[in-house]
Structure 1
């Protein structure tokens, strides 16, 4: 098991669950981009053409990949020299984004996407577990 920059089993579990859920979300967005799943159920039902879908899915996939990398760094699976503060700031940004996305999903045009409000709330809660845990005194990862 890699050396964690956070302490405690709840943090390790939260990071692992976040990585697992984010992998599923990435697979969902990839399936939208590949048109395996119709894109009219995503993005609040507001997508009108393929170009819009590809643009938004590319952004979504990139952001989710960044989130995975941040979690892998925080969990100690990827070692890069970066201040812990930067990793934590990024996690705070993701925390806020997931909270805002929860509200946005509640007002989505499709019932399918409204159900994602539960998932994004779970993401926020798990990121909170990671952020509010006691951290080791390391200045870099």
Structure 2
């Protein structure tokens, strides 16, 4: 896998996708985009929307930060062990997210987000196996 995609390319793709996701969650939080296609289509109240979209924004930002650290964009050479563990945790979360997308009540989430989370899982795996 190391020969197929470089660390910088994988990192840039992950950061780009997650930055777009942060923007999407902000737009949902401000009711600019509908919320029916996120969280498996299970958000029932305004309070749920605020809580879960806020969690999404924080998690996506943390995701970006860990990947940026792994790529050496921030904290170059520091916190290596923590960043490596974080990268493996992100890989596990992406695998679980992919499984969750298959169980979604939202066809958009199943059709569009499942392939995207599979791609992110593979890209994060590529970074996780890098020393």
**1:70 aligned to 59, 62, 66, which one?**
66
Structure 1-normalised TM-score? 0.84
**1:23 aligned to 14, 19, 22, which one?**
19
Q: CA deviation at 1:80?
A: 6.6
**2:50 aligned to 47, 50, 54, which one?**
54
**Structure 2 residue runs without a partner (length 5+):** none
**Structure 1 residue runs without a partner (length 5+):** 1-8, 136-141
Higher-Rg structure is: 1
Q: CA deviation at 1:83?
A: 2.6
Q: CA deviation at 1:79?
A: 2.0
- Computed over aligned residues only, the root mean square deviation of the Cα atoms, in angstroms, reads 1.6
Are 2:9 and 1:13 aligned?
Answer: yes
Q: CA deviation at 1:74?
A: 1.4
Counterparts of 1:1-141 in structure 2, within 5 Å, are 10-79=6-75, 82-114=78-110, 115-133=112-130, 135=131
Q: Distance in 1 between matches of 2:52 and 2:21?
A: 14
Q: CA deviation at 1:117?
A: 0.8
Structure 1 residue ranges, 4+ long, deviating more than 3 angstroms after superposition:
none
Deviates more, 1:30-39 or 1:76-85: 76-85
